[in-house]
Amino acid sequence: MPTLRPGSLRRYAVGAASIGVTALLWQWAVTGPLADKPFATVPEILGRLRDFAGDPLFWSSLGETFRVAAIGLVISVVLGVAAGLLVGQSDLAYRSTRVLVEFLKPIPPIVILPLLVLVLGPTGDMGIFLVAFGGVFPLITQTAHGVHDVDPVAAETARSFRLTRWQRIRTLVAPTALPFVATGVRISASAALVIALVSEIIGGAPGLGKDLVLAQTTGDYPAIYALVVTFGVLGVLINAVLAAVERRALFWHSSVRSEVTA
């Protein structure tokens, strides 16, 4: 049966303590200096979270938001990794596309939201397209960097042994590029949830973001803050799952080994 290391226990203890202190400070502020402001108390937020747990509509909205973020992320991973592999294996393609990708990468997906609303309407498909658009460029960049980072001597050795393209990718390119790809996936996954919520808040697509807008419209402040807490918990869970997958997939990499032994 696996046991937690002292370092892990300390991290969990510090995290739990920081949450508790933040909750106490929040409760003090909203019942004291900010009592006349539209803030919800900690018991009100916890009560609304308890209500959400028994509300099928909440779980339906949560499932829709997760569906949009997950499908968009998968599309961006498939397209981004494939494009990055092609670009990274050619010096000409790497140099010629680098400026274009770096130019497109910081463009926020929200700028094309009005066009997508006109074309696709306030639907889940609109959110999926936005998530894929926002996640594909970091993955192209990271994958191309990883492929381009292959040791030239090792690449020349592989060619001298007449390894096929697939053998070179499996034994040489993949081990070098995987840590870069993993970083790109974590970046894109964090953005996927945010973009999915933005598509619902601004674009009107169904999901937790739309529920937040409805709560704001009706003045249901406990629901607003409960949904914000839900967003934060989802982000932490997604990051934790991806970190666990990364540790298992890259157990051989020096960065992962140093984390385990720390």
Chain segment 46-102, per-residue pLDDT in tens = 999 999 999 999 999 999 999 999 999 999 999 999 998 888 877 788 888 888 888
> For residue 196, what are the CA distances in angstroms to 27, 163, 210, 246?
30, 43, 11, 23
**pLDDT, mean over the chain:** 85
At residue 254 the predicted structure's pLDDT band, cuts being 50, 70 and 90, is: low
For residue 256, what pLDDT band results from cuts at 50, 70 and 90? low
Q: Which domains does the chain possess?
A: 57-260 (1.10.3720.10)
Residue 117: what pLDDT? 84
**Pairwise CA distance, residues 197 & 191, whole Å:** 10
- The rounded distance, in Å, linking the Cα atoms of 179 and 195 is 24
Residue 260, token pair as written in the block = 């385990």
